[in-house]
Amino acid sequence: MNSLEEIVRYLHDHDNYVIVGHEGPDPDSLGSMLGLFFGLSKLGKGCRLISADPLPPYLSWSGLDQVEQLGAEFAPGESTVIVVDCEPQRTGSVSSGVLQAKSLINIDHHQRERGLGDLVYVEPAEAATSIIVYRILRLLGVPFDKDIATALYGGIVGDTGGFRHANTNSEVLSIAGELLDYGVDPSRTAREIFSMQPLGFLQLLGYALSNLHTAHDGKLVWLAVSHADFQRFDVVPENTDHLVSYVRTLDSAEIAMVFREVSPGVTRLGLRANHVDVGSLARHFGGGGHKLASGATLRGSFHEIVAEVTDVAERYLATGEINGRDH
């Protein structure tokens, strides 16, 4: 792994960049992208912003209109590609272009192996990739302004669940406080991230919560939303990552899980825990993430996936061991 200083030296010495976030972009992915975009632009660098998937419709941050939505046609040319908030392989339909980059930088905070990239900085102890970008911009001597601060603050709010998750600490709050001083509107940011649900989503949520399942004295709780459910309520499955935040509010919950059949035969599993390591649970199913927040994508029959994962999770809660199928 490289040091932050090595990343900063490279950024200082080179001129053209393409910044890419993960598929299904979230506030931290976009905040990191925009923070770097504004910061490097201020230093006179050429910058493009690329996303494989559409942006969340409710964010009003400046710079989002600069994001180009591209697919397999994406080709980085001579520019250095910077992948933020995920592994280069998780950039969706632009990943083949990303992996062809002549120079690749990866900046992330998810627990994992070093992975691909000429320069890689991965720090799982950081609450958000936006905080790593904050540090990079400070080391580069970039003058901060409202646009940079709004993006980075939004990324931090997103990944800390509005300063409620276990990754919130005094340094996170002090960086957030510093960013607020550049004119960020905290209530607008919070409302855009957490309180802009379309009617169909709330109706789907009501339906899904009425079918909430629990096991192991309520320590395991899960919600399963099939592709047909999404269609019935006219909800785009990719925009429903946050379903798990409702499930985890159950008083007895130790592990909260949401199964979303995002397309027929493809299920996204979201996992949250209060103490237990659900990162290893996700890795067992070919996914990844943090100790208390992780996920995986599984293929096959939706009902069989739900049955198998809940079975393994229940055994994990009971014995502390992950058994089941081999990977």
Using the minimum distance from each CB to Mn ion, give the nearer residue, 28 or 261.
28
Distance of CA 169 to the CA centre of its chain: 19
* 170: exposed, middle or buried (Cβ count in 10 Å: 0-12, 13-18, 19+): exposed
Angle at 197 between CA 191 and CA 202, to 5 degrees: 140
**# residues contacting Mn ion (CB under 5 A):** 4
Distance of CA 89 to the CA centre of its chain: 14
Please select the residue that binds Mn ion; options are 21, 45, 85, 88, rule is CB under 5 A.
Answer: 85
Nearest approach, Cβ of residue 158 and Mn ion (Å): 7
Question: Which DSSP symbol is given to 233?
Answer: T
Using the minimum distance from each CB to Mn ion, give the nearer residue, 28 or 87.
28
Using the minimum distance from each CB to Mn ion, give the nearer residue, 21 or 39.
21
Nearest approach, Cβ of residue 126 and Mn ion (Å): 9
Using the minimum distance from each CB to Mn ion, give the nearer residue, 22 or 284.
22
Regarding 28 and contact with Mn ion (CB under 5 A), the answer is yes
In the structure encoding, which two tokens stand for residue 32, read together?
A: 């990191």
Nearest approach, Cβ of residue 87 and Mn ion (Å): 12
Nearest approach, Cβ of residue 28 and Mn ion (Å): 3
Cβ 38 vs Cβ 148: under 8 Å: yes
Question: What binding mask, one character per residue, do residues 154-193 give for Mn ion by CB under 5 A, x or -?
Answer: -----x----------------------------------
Nearest approach, Cβ of residue 112 and Mn ion (Å): 13
DSSP labels for 260-300?
Answer: EEEETTEEEEEEEESSS-HHHHHHHTT-EE-SSEEEEEEES
Which residues of the shown chain bind Mn ion in the complex (CB under 5 A)? 28, 85, 129, 159
